[in-house]
Amino acid sequence: MFMHLVAEHKLTNFQIRAISAAFSLAIMLFFSCQVCEVSATTYYVDCNSVDDNGIGTSPQTAWKTLSKVNSLDSAQPGDSMLFKRSCKWRGQLFVWSNGDSGNPITYGNYGIGDNPIFDGSVPVTGWTAAVGSDLVYSSLLITNPAMVFFNDKLGIPVASKDDLTSDGQYYWENNTLYVYSSADPNLKTIEASIIGAAQGLITAWSRSNIVVDGIYVRRSAGSGYKFDGTNGASNIELKNFKSDYSLYWGVLLFKTTYANVHDGEIAHAATGSYLTNGKAYGEGLRIDSGSYNKVWNTEGHNIWNIGLDLINRAHDNEIFGNVWHEISIPNNHAACFYSDNATRNYWHSNTAYNCDVGMSIASETAGSASDYNTISYNLIYNNSQTGLFTGGVGGSSHNYYLNNTIYGNHAWSELLVNPTSSFETFKNNIFVETGNNPFGFQGTTGHILDYNLYYRTDNSDLIFDWNGIKNFADFKTADGGDTHSLRTNPMFIDPANGNFRLRAGSPAINAGINVGLTSDFDGKTVPNASAPDIGAFEDSGSVRPSPPSELVAY
């Protein structure tokens, strides 16, 4: 092309040299840009900085406030926002930008000390004695608080100023917060949660390829962490986290896909339900309408409604290796784990204890059942109402309950199958009743039951309650199943101290049937011998490096 220009236009030597240099420069720039990449930027935020006037790209020039971070709406894939450990901010973080696949935007921490805290409460000061009231004080507070804390202890709201009669009580009206205090409240730390209402202390709306790592949120007037995928949100990772005291959800995933939530703690979620005697809502962790998400290695406790909930046709999610406990709601039935109108999810290797209900596979939506879920190798014990509940208003159907150990649950025994349950499969499970409550089969439409082990610690045969049938033999005849099931002591190692592994000589060893599962609660290989053991623990075997991640069908 260059020689064609020379021939056609009879260029001078000067023009030829100039054009040649220009071509050479253009070619050099073209090829250099093929390998160049926009470098990622790390921003630092330190609550001890003087202000936000630094450039923020080193600890020495760190920004000070969340407001400065929230003003950065042009973060690029690979960028990181790091918050200094041992710092606390009162406010919210909003995620405005998307990362790329394999190159996420990260919100994390740096330095030494405890994880940074995002706090949804503000201090309330300037207390004065209320006119005409002994030991009642008032202070200006424009916003009705979601919660009030007295020296870090959750306060109790009352219905009127006249009802303030004990320390720790509060009442709000007309932009004024009233408290009862037997000592001068100006000498106390009183904080009111007003930040995060209808949102989260960390909120991302329809954002993808985001990592939140090592940030502690507490006292949210809404949710702790909220990831809203109304217009699409995928490849989100929340890890090494803690959410404490949230009015509604500790973690909310709404219409997300391929989110990973792991290695975290959720406590005191659904505080609004506690403060209103069960009339409000919220949960520990909710996956609402989402798919292909995973939750593992989390602990949830002291929650005043549902613990971990999959709802509204959430599908193909995997929930494994979680421990949830101390979950209850006044006048209702709060489950540690709940599948509500959800489908094709895989629950395995989880522990549920000291809740109202250990696990509920049901639906509160008429005409839409929880179906085709797999519930395997879970440990469910010492819950106040029942271990495993199925059915509900919308029912449950075609679910697989495999190799679970369910022990010592109370009012409704180990198992309550509603008439709205149908075509359910129960195999290789251990059910041990430590009281005198029968196993409740209120309907047996199309169920498949076999290779289970049933036992009452008083050795009574009166273990069932279905259409007048009480004993094991009559129940087997009536349901047409449980042909290979056992009624005997499973011989746990130490159930009083939570060890439900099998002792040598247990009748549950090699007494199960192969249902396609390959590892037990502990990750041991299944089967170890000629057949799988019944219950959540295989007697012995090699430890697998990680739990399975694929859904299985039977």
- As a whole number, mean pLDDT of residues 56-64 equals 98
Q: 138: Cβ–Cβ under 8 A, 6 or more apart, which residues? A: 127, 128, 129, 130, 176, 177, 178, 179
Residue 546 has a pLDDT of 41
The structure tokens listed for 161 are: 């100023």
pLDDT at 15 over 60: no
Whose CA is closest to 222, among 254, 264, 179, 190? 254
Tell me how long the chain is: 554
**Residue 483 DSSP class:** T
The answer on pLDDT for 10 being more than 80 is: no
pLDDT band at 74 (very low <50, low <70, confident <90, very high): confident
Query: pLDDT for 21-32, tens place per residue?
Result: 444 544 444 444
**Percentage, residues of the chain above pLDDT 90:** 78
Does residue 301 carry a pLDDT above 50? Answer: yes
Task: Kindly compute the dihedral angle of the four CA atoms of residues 331, 335, 340, 342, in this order, to the nearest 10 degrees.
Answer: 180
Answer whether residue 542 shows pLDDT above 80: no
Q: In terms of DSSP H, where are the helices of 167-286?
A: 271-275
What gap in Å lies between CA 244 and CA 274, rounded to an integer? 14
Evaluate if residue 308 carries a pLDDT over 90: yes
pLDDT of residue 7: 44
Do 110 and 135 contact (CB within 8 A), yes or no?
no
Q: Is residue 9 over pLDDT 50?
A: no
**CA nearest 256: which of 240, 271, 236?**
236
Report whether pLDDT(1) > 90: no
Residue 497: its pLDDT value, please?
A: 94
Q: Determine the pLDDT at residue 444.
A: 65
Cα separation of 297 and 321, whole Å?
5
- Give the model's pLDDT for residue 443: 67
pLDDT band at 459 (very low <50, low <70, confident <90, very high): confident
Q: What pLDDT, on the 0 to 100 scale, is given for residue 552? A: 37
pLDDT in tens, 422-457: 999 999 999 999 988 888 877 667 899 999 999 999
Which 3 state secondary structure label does DSSP give 474? helix
> Residue 187: pLDDT above 60?
yes
In angstroms, the Cα distances linking 32 to 39, 192, 267, 459, 530 are: 15, 56, 53, 81, 64
pLDDT at position 20 is 53
**pLDDT tens digits, residue range 121-163?**
999 999 999 988 889 999 999 999 999 999 999 999 999 999 9
What integer pLDDT is reported at residue 2 of this predicted model? 41
* DSSP type of residue 531: S
Question: 128-136 long-range contacts, Cβ below 8 Å, gap at least 24?
Answer: 130/161, 130/178, 133/161, 133/164, 135/180, 135/181, 135/182, 136/161, 136/164, 136/178, 136/179, 136/180, 136/181
The rounded mean pLDDT for the chain is 90
pTM of the predicted protein model: 0.90
pLDDT at residue 427, rounded to an integer? 98
> How far is CA 408 from each of CA 55, 205, 337, 373, 523, rounded to the nearest angstrom?
60, 43, 17, 24, 24
Mean pLDDT of 38-50: 93
Rounded Cα distance, 256 and 288, in Å: 8
Q: Note the pLDDT tens digit of each residue in 365-407.
A: 999 999 999 999 999 999 999 999 999 999 999 999 999 999 9
Residue with tokens 């921003």: 43
- The yes-or-no verdict on residue 4 having pLDDT over 80 is no
Arithmetic mean of pLDDT, 324-347: 93
Q: What is the pLDDT of residues 465-520, one digit of tens each?
A: 777 778 888 888 887 889 999 999 999 999 999 999 999 999 999 999 999 999 99
- What pLDDT does residue 332 have? 76
pLDDT band at 545 (very low <50, low <70, confident <90, very high): very low
pLDDT grade, residue 12 (50/70/90)? Answer: low
Least confident of 228-242, 257-271, 532-546: 532-546
Give pLDDT, residue 14: 44
Return the pLDDT at 38: 54
Residue 53 has pLDDT above 50, yes or no: yes
